[in-house]
Amino acid sequence: MKRALLLVHGGAGDIPVERVQPKLDGVRNAVKEGYRVLIDPGKSVIDAVEVAVRIMEDDEAFNAGRGSVLNLDGEVEMDAIIMEGKKMKIGSVAAVKNVSHPISLARLVMENTQHVMLAGSGANKFAAEMGVPTVSPDWLVTDYARETLEMCRRSGDLGTYITELGASIGEVGTVGAVAIDSNGHLAMATSTGGTCGKMPGRVGDTPIPGSGGYCDDSAGAVSATGHGESIMRHCVAHGIIQKMKLGESAQIATQQVLDAMAEQTGESAGAITISKDGEIGIYFNSRRMAWAYQQGDDIHSGIDHGDDFIEKAKCP
Ligand code: GLY
């Protein structure tokens, strides 16, 4: 019997100090809600990662769901992936509009289609067929996201990967969760609005299996965050899984893959990992990354390098 564990992140980047507390509050809130689901005998490990990510999609402190960054046309286009490690089933959506919880749409793709990924108008058509409520494009757009796009335009940083990055330029964060249940079954979920000022139709690492996330009960589960084009080039999530299959610990595997990516591309990223044995890997070569995990009634969290804040939760 394994000890159930849920680990979440709220995005790697150059997070300005005034955004530190909202992100820490957000990841702690998500991990507590997700963990309650994880230890509920009537729920599954997939339910747990979905709930944790949905909570962060609802939280404007993060670049996912409402509060996502805007593309060049001033619109929200979102990417998400969910995967379970037993049958290695995957659902993902790319460049989807007008839904509040892309992660739940990704799960519907996994459970109700013969495909892995649906993109753009096809993803929205499927959402309508599945009865997913539509939200207006304006509902997803926050003042902060509008100001961020204007700052990107003024700075000339359009499409140059301002997502979780940039202290003065609207830092926000991709969100993700990985979990293991008491039977050793693993799942992962990642969701993002992508990069500020991206070209309409740009798809980042998040929905790509092996880049923004991967999960295999014989090795572990990973959710990645950061510079999407670099994460895709290095297949970061799959790279971490492969290293664990070769015997590396979750922490060392995560660190080695992210540092190799940063050295070759000059860009930064982060990832959270759980091994099949329930070991944790948390690493980022950006300035900050919000993270939190819960096991039993211990909740750990942090955002700066070296942080490990510990609090007690009441388990039902
Ligand atoms: N890592 C999120 C993105 O680049 O879209």
Tokens of 224: 């990645």
| Distance between CA atoms of residues 134 and 97, nearest Å | 9
Phi, psi for 101 (deg, rounded to 5): -130, 80
pLDDT of residue 170: 43
Q: How far is the CA of 107 from the centre of ligand 1 (A)?
A: 19
Those residues with Cβ within 8 angstroms of residue 284's Cβ, 6 or more apart along the chain or in another chain? 12, 225, 226, 258, 268, 269, 270, 271, 305
Q: Residue 195 and residue 164: Cα distance in Å, rounded?
A: 8
List, for residues 208-262, the tens digit of each pLDDT value: 999 999 999 999 999 999 999 999 999 999 999 999 999 999 999 999 999 999 9
Kindly report, residue by residue over 11-32, the tens digit of the pLDDT: 998 888 888 999 999 999 999 9
How wide is the angle at C-alpha 211 spanned by C-alphas 30 and 251, nearest 5°?
A: 65
Q: Give residues (CB < 6 A) around ligand 1.
A: 163, 174, 192, 194-195, 204-206, 225-226, 228
Q: For 166-209, how does the pLDDT look when each residue is reduced to its tens digit (9 = 90+)? A: 444 445 579 999 999 999 999 999 999 998 888 999 999 999 99
pLDDT band at 150 (very low <50, low <70, confident <90, very high): confident
Over the stretch 109-137, which tens digit does the pLDDT of each residue have?
999 999 999 999 999 999 999 999 999 98
Residue to mutate (ligand 1; options 172, 195, 199, 233; most atoms within 8 A of CB): 195
Compute the distance from residue 301 Cα to the ligand 1 centre, in Å.
Answer: 22
Three-state SS letters, the chain? CCCCEEEEEEEEECCCHHHHHHHHHHHHHHHHHHHHHHCCCCCCHHHHHHHHHHHHHCCCCCCCCCCCCCECCCCCCEEEEEEECCCCCEEEEEEECCCCCHHHHHHHHHHHCCCCEEEHHHHHHHHHHCCCCCCCHHHHCCHHHHHHHHHHHHHCCCCCCECCCCCCCCCCCCEEEEEECCCCCEEEEEEECCCECECCCCCCCCCCECCCEEEECCCEEEEEEECHHHHHHCCHHHHHHHHHHCCCCHHHHHHHHHHHHHHHHCCCEEEEEEECCCCEEEEECCCEEEEEEEECCEEEEEEECCCCEEEECCCC
- Check the CA dihedral 1-44-5-210 and report its sign: positive
Name the one residue in this structure whose structure tokens are 């609207």: 170
Among protein residues, the one with the nearest Cα to ligand 1's atom 5 is 194
**pLDDT of 104 above 70:** yes
Instruction: Answer whether residue 164 shows pLDDT above 60.
Output: no
> Which residues form the catalytic set?
174
Interval between CA 266 and ligand 1 midpoint (Å) = 16
Atom of ligand 1 nearest to the CA of 226: 1
CA of 174 to the centre of ligand 1 (A): 7
What's residue 158's pLDDT? 57
Mean pLDDT of the chain: 92
Looking at residue 215, what is its pLDDT? 98
How far from 83 is each of 28, 89, 119, 187, CA to CA, in Å?
22, 6, 17, 6
User: 211 alpha carbon to ligand 1 midpoint, in Å?
Assistant: 10
Query: What pLDDT was estimated at residue 156?
Result: 66
User: Residue 126 — φ and ψ, nearest 5°?
Assistant: -60, -40
Residue 297: C-alpha distances to residues 69, 161, 249 (Å): 34, 38, 24
Give the residue, by CA position, lying nearest to ligand 1 atom 4: 228
Phi-psi sector, 131: left (phi>0), alpha (psi -120 to 50), beta: left
pLDDT at 166: 41
pLDDT tens digits, 47-60: 999 999 999 999 99
Ligand 1 centroid vs 254 CA: distance in angstroms? 18
Q: Which fold has domain 5-312?
A: Glutamine Phosphoribosylpyrophosphate, subunit 1, domain 1 (3.60.20)
Sorted by where each begins, the domain ranges of the chain are 5-312
